[in-house]
Structure formats: C-alpha cells, structure tokens
Amino acid sequence: MSTPAEQSQALTPAAIRAAHELIKPYIHLTPLLTCATLDKIASTPQTAEALAGTPFEGQTPATPNFRFHFKCENLQRIGAFKARGAHHALLRLIEERGEEEVKKRGVITHSSEYTKLTSNTGNHAQALALAASTLNVPAYIVMPKISTPSKIAGTLSHGAEVVFSGSTSIEREAVVSEIQSKTNAILIPPYDDFNIICGQGTTALELEGQFTEKSKSKKSLDAVITPVGGGGLNAGVATYFSDKSTRVEMIVVGGWGEGKRVEKVSTLTIADGLRTPVGLLNWEVISDKRKVEGVFSVSEEQIKAAMRLVLERMKVVVEPSAVVGLAVCLFDEDFRRRVQEEGGEEGWDVGIVFSGGNTTVEAIGKLFS
C-alpha cells in the first residue's frame, strides 16, 4: 500500500480534470457570485477602534483593494461541496471493483462530530447517501444519536440505512467496524482519500473557468481561499492550482499547530465543520508551501460578523464554516496589508469558496440572538 507521500505525487491538475469529467453528470455547476458592497466594505481601512484589543492595535490600518468572487458550494447538491468527492469516490470504486461487488457489499461512512452550536455537521454522510442512491448502491451511515432531526431526515431521504452511535470519533468508528463485520461494506472516508480530494478539487476547476468567462480576459485569480477541517477541499484546490500563478490560502480552526499536523482537535467553535484533524494525505499537500502559501485563523465574533454580512448583503444562506475566508479578508491586517502591498492600486481578485449552507433557522437565530 502506497504511503501518503507517494499518493500525493499522483495528485495533479490532470487528476482533477479527469475527476470533473466523471462527476459532471451528477453535480451542480454552482454559481460564482460577486458583491460590490462586500468589495467596498473589505477595501475600506479598519478603524482604530476596530483594531483595539487585537494583535494589530496601534498599527496603521491597511488599505487593500478587494474584488471578491464567491463560489457558492452552499448551492451544491446536499448543500455542500462534499457531493463532489462522494460521487467521485463511489464512481471510482465501481470502476475498480466492479458494479456487482460494490452493490453486493454496499458502502459505509460516519458523520463528523456534532456540536449544538450550529448543527452543520454531517455533510459527507449526506453526500455519500445521495451518491449511493443515485448509483443504486446500499449505504450505511453512522450518525451520533444527538444529531439534529433535519440532518437525520436528510440522510434517510436518500435511502441510506442510518445507524446511531455516541458522539465521539471512537464511538462512531466502533459502530462502523461492527457494521462492516456483518455486511462487509466498503468504507469511504470523508476527506483523507485520494479520490475524495480529486473530487473536491473540481471546485477550483469550475471557479477558474467561471472567473475567466466573466472577466473576459486572460487574467488569473490572484488568490483562492478555502476553509480547512480535514483538508480535502483545500488539498484539492491547491492541487488544481499547483501549476498556475494563483495563490491558495487556507483558514484553520484547530487542525494546525506551528506548522505541524494536529492529531486531535478539541477546539469548540461555531465553525463546527472545521473541528477535525487534517488528514494524512491532505497534510502532504497543504503543508507544501509551493502549493499553499498562507495559513490564517479568525475569531468567533469575526465569523459571525462575516456571516451576518453574507446573509444581509448578499441574501445567501451559508453555514459559519463557509465564511471564514471572507472573515480573514475583512479583519486580518497581515493578509490585508499583503493585498495592499502586492496588489497595489489594482488590488486582488480573490476567489472565496462558500463551502456549505447546512445550517438551520434555529441555529442562525441562536447565533444572532
């Protein structure tokens, strides 16, 4: 079995393009939106009052010029980019093992850890349930007992068999092993997997094509920013742009520590979709500074402020994890100064991936009550 380092060598832009050709019939071409209001807000220097109490207090505010291009994966099937990786992984599995074997054994996965803060977890679980339903493959989904009724109903609606477990990863994995011993179902992991990464990377391929078409020029995006939990999306995006001039940046919550991979994430955050360690294969890609230039983090209040702006100014429903890239552009003076210095008067065209929109009215109400 090849190592993550060896597998990473096969992660190429060509692999992303091949993945896109395979999954195109099964996914949405999600829109690329712009918002002049958010461009103006982000391009306005922060006030001294806003910088007070932050690491940037006392500094002269940066004067960047932003033009945002939002890739709306919140409008993807099942409400998140995860539909890309799940379909690609299952289609490749059928290619490798044959349709008869895969349908006989079925597939299995488990949803991510749950927090009552926002209830936006379980995107991969729903994505695999959808892919399995589409391709007529039995699917077993292990979910925490305390998952929200809407999340359970969404998974069941695709015909998957839901099996409940405790909320910790150890408890979930124990139930997965138990089901596999009875059914011989094949595990499709949520992010630490070659085919999952290739599927998620198709987000970047579409983003670039849509930007080029809209801009009607040969100019490239100056930067693309994605959130990072397990790292499948960022690794895929970084892979696609690895032979281009576009910079790839990532926003983390707890899966990164002083340049080292964190094996267990205990951080509590409203961006609960990012509360997971970076995968081993994913780490090989995103720790490569030739592929991923910057690592940034944001506060809870900054995430909420960015989410409020998207809801109120763009009229777009997103989950907290989806807006961490915008939050960096709004509040991180190091990044803002970099755009000012490198972009000059022309500024930067920045692609931001809205990774998902799986939240609830109740959860949004609690955040802003």
> Looking at the annotation, which residues are catalytic?
82, 112
27 in Cβ contact with 77 (< 8 Å): yes
Q: How far apart are CA 129 and CA 137, in angstroms?
A: 9
223, 228, 230, 234: CA torsion to nearest 10: -10
Q: How far apart are CA 225 and CA 271, in angstroms?
A: 16
Q: How many helices (H) and strands (E) does the chain have?
A: 16, 12
3-state secondary structure (DSSP) of residue 220: coil
CB atoms within 10 A of CB 37: 12
Strand blocks (E) in 27-180? 32-33, 66-72, 107-110, 139-144, 161-165
